[in-house]
Structure 1
Amino acid sequence: MNWLDAGLFLRGVAWRDADGRPVRADPDDLGRLPWDVLERARVPVGVRLEFAAYGAEAVELHYRAEAGEVPHAFGLWTDGRQVSETLADPADEAVVRLRLPPREGPFTVYPPESQSPRFLGIRAVGGRIEPAGPRPRWVVHGDSVTEGWWSTRPAHAWPAAAGRLLGLDTVNLGYAGAARGELATAQQLATLPADALTLAFGTNCWGRTPFTPALLGETLRACVALVRQGHPHAPLLVLSPVLRPDAEHTPNALGATLAALRTALEDAVRKEIAAGDGRLALLPGLGLLGPEHLADGLHPNDAGHAALAGAVATALGKLMA
């Protein structure tokens, strides 16, 4: 069994660095980005393998990763559901075998992204595999909620789940601790191939880097304008901040509550739509989650991610129709 180039099977890839590794910021434009964006962009969030199988009883993956102390979990999915999870002992380099059900797929493997795996090869056992066909590409930008924090597996993060519901190739550009409307990021989004896009930021404009409502509104409009330079007609969905109980009515260092910031962001989107952007839509975030959906008062649990995925899939599906 010869090893195949695993890079041909990867999906959810935004950019690749000089060594061919998937990265989540433009490697030729890193100097304009804040340090927290750079840190999170190194983690291959949302990157996965997709393939069809013909007569294969299993697939083997040769990879390197940060060993850590917890098992490396590989989730195998098809038809929108997980069919198995394989746990591999922590190791810097290993080969893991995933047994396949008797069907062609297509299959998706969600790797242990937090261990920053790099795939060196992929091969079939007892048959053959080939890369899955292309799907419409959906680029999603946001903060730690978009990155999938507190979901128990990468496949449960709301962008991954919404992408499955809509049959899209999700490219996750969620940056935990960041996503404050960085204009350099908006310009990078404009350069990426995309059939649809989503912007989901604002929560981090309340705390560590405080915004006023006026500043956030203008930042949103600037981001949309820059994204539109590369994607003038693509469906663009803006998701405003979801519930954060400790911030809703608490002023930040500039006197703005999260509720006021959310209103300003939503008003800015409505103004852009009224000005003629017919491919722009707003999904208000406040009513999508309740306290029971928050694992830590800020980040959704699996049920919260599922609720977000359903709401986003409905809104984006209408926009793409």
Structure 2
Amino acid sequence: MPPLFSSPRRTRGPSRLRTWATSAIATVVAMAGLVVAAPAASADEVDANTWFTLRNVHSGLVLDVDTGSTEPGAGLVQSDHTGAAHQQFRFLPSGSGAYRLQARHSDQVVDVARGSAEDGADIVQWPDRDNANQRWSATVDGDRVTLVNEGSGKALEVWARSTEPAARVSQYTPNGGANQQWDLVPVIAGGGGDGSPTDPAIHYFGRWDTRDSGAYVPGWAGAYLETSFTGTSVAANQRGTIDLYYSVDGGPYTWLRDVSGTVTLADGLADGEHTLRLGYREVAGSYTGDAVFRGLAFDPGAGTVASTPPDRVIEFVGDSITVGQPNGNRPFTSYPWLVGERLGAGHTQIAQGGACLLPSDCYGMLDWFLRTSSADGSPAWDFRYDAAAVVINLGTNDIGRRPTSEEFRDGYVELIARARAEYPTAEIFALRTFRGRYTTETEEAVRIHNDRGDGGVRFVDTTGWIGDEHLVDSVHPNEAGHRVIADRLTPIIGGQLG
């Protein structure tokens, strides 16, 4: 990533704790990426709405709430700059020139644990009580600040002058050391988005487990995210090792294999506004990658900007064929992805290799349709978006479990009913499996719903859509086969959606 400051860095000038509200200054900073000081102002005029990244002068790393925790008592450490909200702080005036430093992601403030006056005491985040151990005097020298706790009289520092990421931040008797000095970088972005998982400018497609606000986990295949951003670079913050794919500015998809940490997706872009789409290889079978999205990082002063997502979503429910297996460039070469793109819709694949319709010794999508992901213990899905269409392609794998004709039909009737309950206005398409398995039962399930007055359920006869030349084996379409399926299916769905 680029340095936090443009050169020359050490030019001295008025305090960065001064008011940043002047619109002309904000415009210059946002457009040119410059670090520009505002006119001098007294301490009580500090803009409490300006967020800062605090970079330690000794180590070059930034102040960070460890692991992005929102729990009271979580420790302060230094980390590589990612632009995440847990690396952003604002100065809340407490009077007499003192401030509380509020963490953006948690709204808690920087606190000397248990009000200790000892050198080396832990520095944590804690709910704002405006106590002496939460108030810090700020001695400002141009771009730099030294912070001394009101309760202890000790300076905020990186303990033992460490230069390692994750080293703890503590307090110590003020000595003017570089590890007690912090460079201030105002966080000013075109649309104000910080790139954290909760950033409203990031649009998520498919089912994502969002219970941890600092780490979103995609469920099923074909889940992805989109956003627009400013600046010349973008990186993804990953927890563990994963294969991911991305596209910048609508360009070709690029795979990065076995990556983790801060993963650069693009740099050297023209300064201005760009778009990003990011997704992950599905975690299933023998593949156990760590598909955990922990936010995006941008140039200093850059960030996400508001954009308008597609106004409709198509949900595809199925097995390995719907996933796009075994083709290596899935999901974006699979027919669900291609259909969604051609119709200008958001899309997702609630699909799993080996899935069946009925519960047995495989993924019974009748029940798993209601879950956030295919992971064991996955919570119930809250159906937070409204699908415009649901496309079901199930039955290929049920033949090995030998349900009776009535069992399969009744299960299909129930799956359609569950989809209808969650998506009252969706068009529902039941595809004949490409191997022709349980065709009669699928048609009967559709007819039962039609007879009940639901004209929005349709059977799609796929007979003759693909031949042997379109198959990887006797079951799975190759990439050309997926394109042929998309050619046939797109006008059918598009004709109903309008």
Aligned pairs, how many?
278
Q: CA deviation at 1:316?
A: 1.6
| CA pair 232-49 structure 1, distance change in 2 beyond 3 A | closer
Aligned amino acid, residue 493 of structure 2: L
Match of 1:280 in 2: 457
Q: CA deviation at 1:171?
A: 2.5
Q: CA deviation at 1:302?
A: 1.1
Match of 1:150 among 320, 326, 334: 326
Q: Greater shift after overlay, 225-234 or 288-297?
A: 225-234
Aligned: 1:21 with 2:21: no
Aligned amino acid, residue 240 of structure 1: R
Match of 1:110 in 2: 279
Match of 1:32 in 2: none
- Between the two proteins, what is the percent identity of the paired residues? 22
Match of 1:184 in 2: 367
Question: Structure 1 or 2: larger strand share?
Answer: 2
SS of 1:46's partner is strand
Q: CA deviation at 1:174?
A: 0.3
TM-score normalised by structure 1 residue count: 0.74
Aligned amino acid, residue 224 of structure 1: I
| CA pair 98-210 structure 1, distance change in 2 beyond 3 A | farther
Aligned: 1:224 with 2:398: no
Match of 2:397 among 204, 210, 213: 204
Structure 1: 5+ residue runs without aligned partners?
Answer: 25-43, 249-257
Q: Deviations over 1:18-60 (max 9, x none)?
A: 4353353xxxxxxxxxxxxxxxxxxx52122211234x33311
Match of 2:487 among 307, 310, 315: 310
Q: Distance in 1 between matches of 2:240 and 2:464?
A: 39
Match of 1:74 among 245, 248, 251: 245
Match of 1:171 among 331, 343, 348: 348
Q: Distance in 2 between matches of 1:64 and 1:156?
A: 27
SS of 2:278's partner is strand
SS of 2:392's partner is strand
Aligned: 1:123 with 2:318: no
SS of 1:315's partner is helix
Q: Distance in 2 between matches of 1:113 and 1:293?
A: 23
Q: Distance in 2 between matches of 1:140 and 1:110?
A: 17
TM-score normalised by structure 2 residue count: 0.50
Structure 2: 5+ residue runs without aligned partners?
Answer: 5-82, 85-194, 284-288, 359-364, 373-380
| CA pair 7-312 structure 1, distance change in 2 beyond 3 A | farther
Q: Distance in 1 between matches of 2:281 and 2:239?
A: 11
Q: CA deviation at 1:121?
A: 2.2
| CA pair 100-307 structure 1, distance change in 2 beyond 3 A | farther
Q: CA deviation at 1:130?
A: 3.0
Q: Distance in 2 between matches of 1:237 and 1:93?
A: 41
Q: Distance in 2 between matches of 1:144 and 1:186?
A: 15
Aligned amino acid, residue 184 of structure 1: D
Match of 1:96 among 264, 288, 301: 264
Does structure 2 retain, via aligned residues, the 8 Å contact 1:183–1:223? yes
Q: Distance in 1 between matches of 2:253 and 2:424?
A: 41
Q: Distance in 1 between matches of 2:445 and 2:281?
A: 38
Does structure 2 retain, via aligned residues, the 8 Å contact 1:139–1:173? yes
Q: Distance in 2 between matches of 1:302 and 1:159?
A: 12
Aligned amino acid, residue 216 of structure 1: F
Pairs within 5 Å for 1:242-257: 242-243=434-435
Question: Structure 1 or 2: larger helix share?
Answer: 1
Q: Distance in 2 between matches of 1:309 and 1:202?
A: 20
Match of 1:36 in 2: none
Q: Distance in 2 between matches of 1:270 and 1:65?
A: 48
Aligned amino acid, residue 397 of structure 2: N
Kindly indicate whether structure 1 or structure 2 has the higher relative contact order, using CA contacts under 8 Å at least 6 residues apart: 1
SS of 1:52's partner is strand
Q: CA deviation at 1:226?
A: 2.5
Match of 2:471 in 1: 294
Bigger radius of gyration among the two: 2
| CA pair 116-161 structure 1, distance change in 2 beyond 3 A | farther
Match of 1:5 in 2: 196
Does structure 2 retain, via aligned residues, the 8 Å contact 1:148–1:157? yes
Match of 2:53 in 1: none
